[in-house]
Amino acid sequence: MATDPHNRDRQQGWGVVAFQTGMIAALLVASVVVAASARAATSTIGRTWPIVEPDALAEIEARASKLPPDMRGKYGPRSSWSAMKAAHLVPATKSQTRSVVPFYTLDTEIRLPSGELLYPKGYSFNPLAYVTLPQRLVVVFPRDLAWALKTARLTDFILLTAGSARDDDAITLSERTGRPIFILEERIKDRLGLTVAPVIIAQVGQRLELTEVRLERPNASGSAATIQRKPAP
User: pLDDT per residue over 23-55, tens digit each?
Assistant: 555 555 555 444 444 454 555 666 777 776 778
Please indicate, yes or no, if residue 87 is contained in any of the structural domains.
Answer: yes
Which pLDDT does position 73 carry in this prediction? 64
Give residue 169's pLDDT.
78
Which residues of the chain register pLDDT less than 50?
9, 13, 16-17, 32-38, 40, 220-233
> Considering the chain, what is the average pLDDT of its residues?
76
Structural domain of 174 = 83-103+130-212
Residue 164: C-alpha distances to residues 12, 44, 58 (Å):
105, 68, 43
Contact 85, 218 (CB under 8 A): no
Q: Domain count of the chain? A: 1
Note whether residue 116 is domain-resident: no
pTM of the complete model: 0.59
Give domain status of residue 163, yes or no: yes
- Let me know if residue 161 belongs to a domain: yes
CB 92 within 8 A of CB 214: yes
- Is residue 75 a part of any domain in this protein? no
The per-residue pLDDT for 219 is 54
Give the integer Cα–Cα distance in Å for 153 and 115.
Answer: 47
| Burial class of residue 97 (count of CB atoms within 10 Å of its CB; 0-12, 13-18, 19+) | middle
| Residue 224 belongs to a domain | no
CA distance 139 to 198: 5
Contact 130, 201 (CB under 8 A): no
Instruction: Tabulate helix, strand, coil % of the chain (nearest 5).
Output: 35, 20, 45
Residue 171: the pLDDT is 81
Q: Angle 122-186-95 (CA atoms, 0-180°, nearest 5)?
A: 105
88 located within any domain: yes
CA atoms lying within 13 Å on the CB side of residue 3: 6
Q: Is residue 91 part of a domain?
A: yes
